[in-house]
Structure 1
Amino acid sequence: MGPAVLVVDDAATVRLYYRQILGGMGCAVEEAWNGAEGLEKALVRPPQLILLDVNMPVLDGYSTLRALRREPSLCAIPTIMITTEAGGGQAERAYAAGANLYLQKPVRPERLTNFTRVLLGMQPA
């Protein structure tokens, strides 16, 4: 199986969308519906890439990302924050929390696959 990717988003339809795109690339996709669950899953089985929503119940994306960056076993995992939030310094806030990339929803499949390939060091399709 290919690289492990953890998708953390409270919307089941969004997780399915990413699962279809990443699965089509050969990635093994794990899902979590909030930041706390995402942290737990990452600690048990560290992924090679994390896709992280900002607005979620229990633990939001910024808090989740800061916690990931403090954890020695998880701090170097590339993380893409993907959100509907625009403007108001959201991208800067994401990068300050430790994001490798900040994207706005909806993300076109080709953009997601291109960025995923770059962050995972995969060959172009």
Structure 2
Amino acid sequence: MFGQCGGVRKAERATQDREKLRKREMEEAKGVVKLVALAKFKEGLSESEIEQLIKGYANLVNLIDPMESFHWGKDVSIENMHQGFTHIFESTFNSTEGVAEYVAHPAHVDFANLFFSHVDKFLVFYYKPTTVRV
């Protein structure tokens, strides 16, 4: 009886793993592009000011069609290897053409001008996710 339960869980896990792999392969096939950005905000900027900037960044998803998702977080590492960067942002785009549309979009240009006036350091990296099959 208990052995069957473990077998069912393994089968469910295998199905979930296959579904995740299928989703990754579909993203690769359709040309998904990810953006990862690191920011170090200027000294003296309040948490509420940072929160407003993040909300403005997140709102770009509603204004620019090729921008499919937005996530962010703060550094929580104990290794102190962040080189002064405190926040990370991740966005997903439907294609490299979508990235170009995002970069040129007036809402992005306006937001970027505002955002960059509040950061000391900013690093941006665009990449196409690739699945490693072992």
TM-score range, shorter chain: under 0.3
More helix per residue = 2
More strand per residue = 2
Task: State the TM-score, normalized to the length of structure 1.
Answer: 0.26
